[in-house]
Amino acid sequence: MKKISLSIILLVLLLFPLSSFNQILIVPDNYPTIQSAIDAAYGGDTVLVKPGVYIENLNFNGKNILITSLITTTRDTGYISQTIIDGNAQGPVITINNNESNVTIRGFTVINGFSSHGAGIRCSHVSVRLYDLIITNNHATGTSYAGGGGIAIGYSDVIIKNVKVLNNTGYDFGGGLKIRYYCNVSIDSSEIRGNMLTATRVHGKGGGIYIDYFSKVEISNTLITNNVTSYWGGGIACASQGTVILKNVTIANNTAFYGGGALYFCYDNSMAIVGNSIFFDNYPNEVFFDTGMFNSLSVFHSDIEGGYQNIYVDGDDTLNWLDKNINMMPWFDPDYHLLSNSPCIDAGTGFYVFRGDTIINRPPGTYNGADPDMGFWESDFLLSVAPPHEPDHREFVSGVYPNPSSGKTYINLALHIPGHVKITVHDVQGKPVGILHDSFLNPGDHIISANLEDLPGSIIFIKIAGPGSVQTHKVVVWREW
């Protein structure tokens, strides 16, 4: 074994104290591949990987070890994008499924995995920490229930922090993450963006994240955006006694063509608790309760576009609309950071107890201003110095009637400010099938008529893009034969 730099050893020892029997295996200095270093390692060892592209499909084979890029020795996050593990479409990029109880993976880009489950990282019956990763362009497809394009987790305890799950694909469950069967998962300071489900049947649930079967997932300070499924749950789908707790999460611009652009429930006894969060511009609605009984959603100190009216609740399910929720334009920049005039600044809470459980407990000093902001990003703006917000002059109100319709339909618009309004019609797959209006309108009340009789299908969506927001209405068209 070649001589190891003393400075590197000392720094790693300071950051991760090791016993006198633990060793540091350096790739490629001492071992040509990451897998060969894993094979040579013993429990408690560290595999330290220098920058490069490693075309490998890793398996931990029961080893409780740390594998890391030079981010651990330098604290330079640039090494994340410089240290790449490429699965070469030969299976999952990383597999951890041999009862490992103490695995840490830190500081890599994980790409080009191809598998039915967990194409990027697959975790089963293990305890794992995933830190400072980019997991992108992995594809889980090929069989029924395939999913977890980025990460698939089953029967496991997993901590995910500072991880970007980007542009992965799944088939049935979880374009970004699939979390099934008795899992405990924590996701913090992460980003779930641009993931997609490609299912052509109704199983397609959870463009961003899918959760089910007694799994509990706590998500904090995280952005979930631009995820897509052709069926249900653009951002998150929660089913079969799954639980998700959202704290300071922004879910925006996700698409589920059948329902639940932000959050979707199905089957029985699933639960979501949402605090200090923002649901905005998700298509076709924010939250949808589907088949099943006794699912529940509890919301406090959150900005939900459309308010509780934009949440479809089935008869046996429960919506707890709690303290200080708002329905206002959140005013983001393109990266979903709050602008200075956002009503979400200082609108959250540092402490909240629900049914005896402490959901949020953030001491002063962990946020700016009198109270935390809503959403994933704590702004530097203070409410006391922010320009006054005038929500009534920044939004428009729309409605569609009759609904169901036999073809002749009217769209009501109430504009508080002048602006361009475009009204388009989409089928259940989200494809545009017509334009009803596309012009500038002055403030005031407007009625726009449309004939939907000749459009295909019995369910269509009318999308209204106006000053300050986009609103979508589902319309049922019944036909006389």
Q: Quote the CA–CA distance of 390 and 393 in Å, as a whole number.
A: 6
Please tell me what DSSP assigns to residue 456: S
Q: What is the pLDDT of residues 51-96, one digit of tens each?
A: 999 999 999 999 999 999 999 999 999 999 999 999 999 999 999 9
Residue ranges of domains in the chain: 1-85, 117-385, 391-476
Answer yes or no: is pLDDT of 391 > 60.
no
Higher pLDDT, 458 or 61: 61
pLDDT at 125: 97
Pick the more confident residue, 66 or 15.
66
Least confident of 120-124, 149-153, 475-479: 475-479
Q: Name the least confident of 167-171, 182-186, 220-224, 306-310.
A: 306-310
pTM of structure:
0.78
pLDDT in tens, 227-271: 999 889 999 999 988 999 999 999 999 999 888 999 998 888 899
More confident call, 203 vs 136: 136
CATH class of 391-476: mainly beta
Element housing 425 (H / E): strand 419-426
Respond yes or no on whether the N-terminal peptide bond of residue 334 is cis (omega within 30° of 0).
Answer: no
Question: Average per-residue pLDDT in the chain?
Answer: 87
Least confident of 14-23, 27-36, 67-76, 248-257: 14-23
Lowest mean pLDDT among 1-15, 44-58, 239-253, 268-282: 1-15
What ranges make up the beta strands (E) of 19-126? 24-27, 46-49, 52-55, 58-59, 66-68, 83-86, 94-96, 103-106, 109-111, 114-115, 121-124
Give whichever of 337-341, 405-409, 459-463 has the largest mean pLDDT. 337-341
DSSP state of 54: E
Site of tokens 């641009």: 194
pLDDT in tens, 326-356: 999 999 888 999 998 899 999 999 999 999 9
Closest CA to 375 of 232, 220, 243, 245: 220
